[in-house]
Structure formats: C-alpha cells, structure tokens
Structure 1
Amino acid sequence: MSVRLIVRTFSEFCITVGALIVLFVVYVLFWTGVKAADATEGQIDTLRNQWAQGTVSAPAPHTSPTAAAPPAPAAYRDGKPFAMLYIPRFGKGWEWPVLENTEVRTLQKGLGHYTGTARLGTRGNFAVAGHRRTYGDPFKDFPKLRRGDAVVLTDGTTWFTYRIDKKPYRTVPSDIGVIDPVPRKSGFDGTGRYLTLTTCDPEWGSSHRLIAWAHLDATQPVTDGKPAAFHS
C-alpha cells in the first residue's frame, strides 16, 4: 500500500470521525432541547387540562375530632405530572412540570419527584431532581440559588412557597442522606416541611451533585392569585 493511499485513508477516517462528533454535539446541545420542549409542553398541557376539568382534589376541609377521617390523597401516578414548579431567580418564563419518579425517560420530560419522599406541602422532605444540561437545561443556573430565594409549586388547588436556606451544597451521588426526611448536612433541626432540589455537577458531567434545601414558608389557594414571591 502506497504512502499516498495510507494518508488519504487516514484523512477520510478523521473527516468521518469529525463529522460524527459534530453530529453528536448538535444532538446533545440542540436536538435534546427540542425533544424536551415538546415533551415538557405536553406535560404542562396535560396538567392544565386536568386542573381545568377539576380532576385534582381540593384539600380536605377541617373536620371535628368525632368526624370520620377524610380519605387519604391518591398516590402520585408513576411517570405522570402532578405539579408545576417555578423559581423566579431563574427568570420570568422559567416553569417546569414535576413528574413522579426520577427515571431517565421521566427526566427527559421535566423534573422528577423522588419516589418515597414526602408529598408536596406535607411534613418530611419533598425531593426533586432535574438535568443541569441537556433536555432543556432546567437547572443550568442552579449555582445562582441563594438563601431566601423562592421555589414555588402548585398542584392546581394550592400555591406552596418554599424558601432556600443556604447556597447549593456539593456532594457525591452516593450521598443519599440529602433526601432523608430531615436531610443530613442541611442544618435543619427536627421534623419540618422541607424541599430538596438536586442536579448534576460539574455542568457537563455527573461525578458530583449540587443540592439546595428549602423550607415551606407559605401556602395559599390558587383562587387568591399568584403568591407574592412572583412579584418580589
């Protein structure tokens, strides 16, 4: 085989590899975002349609001690949306659906609620995961979170405003104590109504996790309009 043929073959190989790399980068940076936008809009539409039809049960009214206990709320449906989450710090149009479980295919449609952690607004730790990059980059600006920032959620009947307690904490993926009912390293003392947000770190890697903890600060019916956190 001549040197010229070897050089030409190697050059063609490099061009092919380069083209594949470019296509992969386009897929990661652009196409996953396009797919996520479509999927996320679909989940948001599903939620809004359910809420418009009144298929989300309102909170049970206060009952006397002698009255029969109200039925337990229905479990979140696996892989399905049940709430919307807003972080004003990330911009006016930042809104994402929260779905049940943190499987790969679920996080391609929105944010994922860690199955087994608390329900929204209840005692314990309501824990949520989201991509830092790819699939819409929901938590791209995660490091910007600061003490006092609002994290607002709604289940269609109630607004829940949580407040971040400290800037994000960096740990490793095996540190599952961060989503305990009273999350370790959070500084929380005793049982409360907590929120944990998790995402990958570094920005384009997954060797570590960034964690943000918050406590429930206020609730109000959706009929009262949006909470003050949206206007501050």
Structure 2
Amino acid sequence: MLAGVSCDYHTRLEQGREVNPSDQVLDALARVLHLGPEAARHLHDLARSTCDRGRSERTDRAHMDRVHPDVLRLLDGWDDKPAFVINQLMDVLAQNSLIDAFHEGLKHTDNILRMTFLEPRIRELWVNWDEQARSRVAHLRASSGTGSGPALVELVNELLHASEDFRQMWAKYDVWTDTDCVMHLHHAETGDLTVRYQTFIVEGAPSQRLVVLQAEPGSPSEQALARLRAIHAR
C-alpha cells in the first residue's frame, strides 16, 4: 500500500513471476523498505540481471578471471604493501609476496570467503574477525545481484553447509561494499599491526577488484610490515 502497488503485483515480484518492474516501482519499494543507497542499487541490479542471467552464466569465466600482465607487474612492484586481485566471488586471482607471507600455512587461500569461514587460524590473524567476516558476507550478497550464476550458488551452498557463522550472517541480508576499512592483525612473526585497505575496479576487467593494504606512514605497523618483508625475503 505504501509503495503504491497492488498486493497481487507485489506477490508476483516476490515469486519471480514479474521480471520487468519499472524503476519507479523499485524506487518506491526501496523507499518504503528504508533501504540505504547500496541496498537500493542492489535491488535495481537484481531486477536488471534477471533478463541477462542466462547469458551471464554462459560467459567464459576463465577469460574474465585472467589478470592483465600490467596488473601483475604492479602487484610485484608493491613489495612494501600487501596487495591482491579478486573476482566477484572473492577468488584470489593474483597476489604479491607480502600477501603470501601473511597467509603462509593457511588453507583455502584461493578464496577469501572460504579462508574466512573454513580456516580456524584466520581468527588468530584477524583480531576483528567478526567485523571482517560480516563485511565479506555483505560484499558477497552484493555480488549476488550481478549474474555470477552457478559458481555463486555453489560457493554459498558450500559455506551454508560448512559454517554456522556464515549461515547466521548470510541470513541477515546485509548489502554493502565499503572500500575504506580497517583491519587489526596479529601476526606470529611481527606481532600486532593495523592496516587500512582500499579496493579498486580494474579497468578493462570490471569483475576484478584490486585490493591494497597500507599502514600509517612511520607507524609501528609500517615497521612490522617491513620486518615481515625482510623475514620472507631471506
């Protein structure tokens, strides 16, 4: 009633029998449901992706996940900053030596979500694990409206089956893609450190994200990164 649509039409939307809602209807629903800007965009993405989903699922994923040589050289050149490239499912497509050093000995490092929920020792490394885990689930939820297809369903089902924490967080339906976040870490070789990470879309490969971690210049955390780099260089 508040959105100005009939109960029958709203029911058809919920059941997937109405696949072409207008922008005006979507805006009205977002307003009535008090969705934030990112959640409202996610609603529009879900509506727009319905018609294109079949084509998206047939896309050559190997081609989309191929990291350009220039990006690989950029990663290698950042020997003082941990950096990596991920896709929409948070598969790690490429990473530099400092990320290797951070995650040495951990399992499931091929995918950030699997590492977050299936690797017990990650909770020792990420001091603010709960905050980081909720952020990654919200990112994955945002990706669910962009036609990731069977690979997304497979990943979600695997995590739903294997992790109670993931089941609870996934059920909250949080959607956000904040790119300015703080990580509090405790590394066995360097002690405590704090880094901020920024995420950038890779030009020419919009499904890829470049993630860069940085410490405050001159801080103990920057010195800890330097020690970690020196240890693993030896």
Q: TM-score, normalised by structure 2?
A: 0.25
* More strand as a share of residues: 1
* More helix as a share of residues: 2
| Larger relative contact order, structure 1 or 2 (CA cutoff 8 Å, min sep 6) | 2
Q: Computing the radius of gyration over CA atoms, which structure comes out larger, 1 or 2?
A: 1
